[in-house]
Structure 1
Amino acid sequence: MQILKHDPARFENLPDYPFAENWIEVDLGDGHRGQMHYLDEGAKDAPPVLLFHGEPSWNFLYRKMIAVLVEAGFRCLAPDLIGFGKSDKPDDIAFYTYDRHVSWLKQWRESVVPQPAALFCQDWGGLLGLRMVGEEPEKFSCVVASNTFLPVGGTPSPAFLAWREFAKSSPEFQIGELLQRATATERSEAEIAAYDAPFPDEPSKAGARAFPQLVPVEDGMDGIAQNKAAWVGLAAFDKPFLTLFGEDDPVTGGLAQPLIDRIAGAEGMPHDMLSTCGHFCQEDRPVELAQGVVNTAKKAGFLG
């Protein structure tokens, strides 16, 4: 197995992305180590908010939200998951597991921002982030979740099964075009190119192809036992928990209600389904999402 590095030339002149690079080294497992890239914007002594992306995006997805959140008084921390963005990319699909992704993200968290933080999570950012909230609720001051869930088996939807098969076998796995099709608003050519930047060839897409296969939506899959255990802590999480989902997301659009019904901190919160909002909600409704984070953090007493 090779650990692939990003090509800096592919990340030049990204639109609306004036952010400095930050790096840490993480233990990938099986004797491998890798570099994890992240953004760290805002005053270092400001209340931290963690911004977790999902599949098959990277922290470029948060560029529009970061400016709003920093202006509101947050320190914004947005990692690129291993296999995505500028972070290192093992080229073996089988190397990626749910537990390893959790471990890599927890290593980053402990190294960079171990203190309590607000969380915004979407897609696999939620499968990882909500697991972490359930396992260590004391490390989170409040949560805003969008187009995500914490699965424990069951029966997957036809839409998800089609996506899983496409990610596994399609020879035309063009990341930028996937982002274009899963937003309700039009992406520019430069934005599409930015989403393609981390993936110059097929080996670099191993992590992106792996993620849909790892979602534990069928009984017997790896991750179900861990998620069931995490749900105990997540359900008892009594700090403010807000859901802001996209009306135009065919895969996760109906998954807000189980979070609302089961999580203590979700009671009485102004949950909403956002119109003109697809799966990659950060592209379609960044200001509304950022304001939701601000309002939730203020309700938690975390942001003045």
Structure 2
Amino acid sequence: MNKTDWTFGGEWPFEPKWFDTPDGKMHYIDEGPKDGRPIIMVHGNPTWGYLYRRFIKAVVAQGNRAIVMDHLGFGRSNKPTSEGIYSISKHAGRCEALLAALDIRNAVMIVQDWGGPIGLTFAARHPDRVAGLFVLNTFFTRPLKKVPLPRIIRAFQAPLLGDLIVKGAHAFVRGFLFNAGLSDPSRLTATDKAAYLAPHPTWSSRAGVLAFPRQIPSGPTGPVSDFVAHEGAKLAKAFADKPVKIVWPMKDVAFAIETLEGMWLRDFPHADVTRVEDAGHYVQEDAHEIVIPLLLAFIQQISGPVAS
């Protein structure tokens, strides 16, 4: 792993930065003018900051500041083997600590997948520091009823079988990220696949990847359901009159359209929504040509000072 070219042929040309947490060292990048509006991009599973490579270049070219972290267990961040370190509340706490240390103000937050509960917790707790939300397919509220989990998710959650599939076969990356999670898997180049495989070369390095599916809520009760219910209620109140843009991939096999219409639009009826018909779960890969212009337009529409 030490021999990896982390620029991936120039696709990821950003200077690495490091943030110390009690659980390990987090990698992040901080690009663009320091007095530009902070655009914070938060990834999910099993991706890392590379997912936003095109977004970073676009927002910096617009004059903004791009901040993208790798959650512990992902990208270039440390990869502890204890699954307990990867609870959603701990991920969210580390994200909050990094952004507080950077003294983020008047930011736009972009979140997707597990990046929603992790990143939006910062917005919920510090709404005075976030000017607008750019929400991709994610969740941040308690499920209203029992959630029928797909067979593969139940397999991931099984004590031994999940370890064999995710840690052993690396199936979450090879099977979901490279195939089922995309509307058009051919959009990933050989370089892209190498970039997504690089962070997790060994069985032991994949504990964080497995921890996420094992936390998927199966209904209204449970640690994650309770966490997002508590933090999500604060977010809904704080952003009732703030700019919220939602971009939703209509071929996502993980988040049904009911999550958009029954949860997001219930809490944010004023949100501007774009439905992307031909995009899967990883909408940043499937439809970046659509999503990035929408993001740049959203940033331009936000009023108020950039820095204070």
TM-score per shorter chain, which class? Answer: 0.7 to 0.9
Secondary structure, in 3 states, of the residue corresponding to 2:139? Answer: coil
Residue 106 of structure 1: aligned partner: 96
Structure 1 contact 163–212 (Cα < 8 Å) conserved: yes
Give the 5 Å matches for 1:1-304.
7-15=1-9, 16-28=11-23, 34-153=24-143, 154-159=145-150, 162-166=152-156, 168-169=162-163, 170=165, 171-174=168-171, 175-181=173-179, 182-185=181-184, 186=186, 187-236=188-237, 237=239, 238-254=241-257, 255-257=259-261, 258-263=263-268, 266-267=269-270, 269-301=271-303
CA distance in 1, matches of 2:63, 2:174: 32
CA distance in 1, matches of 2:305, 2:64: 8
CA distance change for structure 1 residues 303 and 292 in 2, over 3 Å: closer, same or farther? farther
Please provide the CA RMSD for this pair. Answer: 2.1
CA distance change for structure 1 residues 208 and 11 in 2, over 3 Å: closer, same or farther? farther
| AA matched with 2:250 | E
CA distance in 1, matches of 2:104, 2:113: 23
Q: If the length of structure 2 is used for normalisation, what is the TM-score?
A: 0.87
Q: If the length of structure 1 is used for normalisation, what is the TM-score?
A: 0.88
CA distance in 2, matches of 1:220, 1:289: 33
Query: Residue deviations 1:221-280, cap 9 Å, x none?
Result: 1133332222222222121111101111121141222212212xx51x431111221111
CA distance in 2, matches of 1:217, 1:130: 21
Shift of 1:176: 4.3
Shift of 1:86: 0.1
| AA matched with 1:22 | K
Structure 2 contact 6–12 (Cα < 8 Å) conserved: no
Shift of 1:296: 2.0
**How many residues end up aligned between the 2 structures?**
289
| AA matched with 1:184 | S
CA distance change for structure 1 residues 121 and 9 in 2, over 3 Å: closer, same or farther? same
Structure 1 contact 294–303 (Cα < 8 Å) conserved: no
Secondary structure, in 3 states, of the residue corresponding to 1:9? Answer: coil
Structure 1 contact 246–253 (Cα < 8 Å) conserved: no
CA distance change for structure 1 residues 138 and 197 in 2, over 3 Å: closer, same or farther? same
Structure 2 contact 244–272 (Cα < 8 Å) conserved: no
Show structure 1 runs of 5+ residues with no match.
Answer: 1-6, 29-33
CA distance change for structure 1 residues 201 and 139 in 2, over 3 Å: closer, same or farther? same
CA distance in 2, matches of 1:225, 1:247: 27
Structure 2 contact 156–213 (Cα < 8 Å) conserved: no
CA distance in 2, matches of 1:303, 1:176: 43
Shift of 1:17: 1.2
Structure 1 contact 248–277 (Cα < 8 Å) conserved: yes
Percent of pairs with identical residues: 25
Shift of 1:302: 5.1
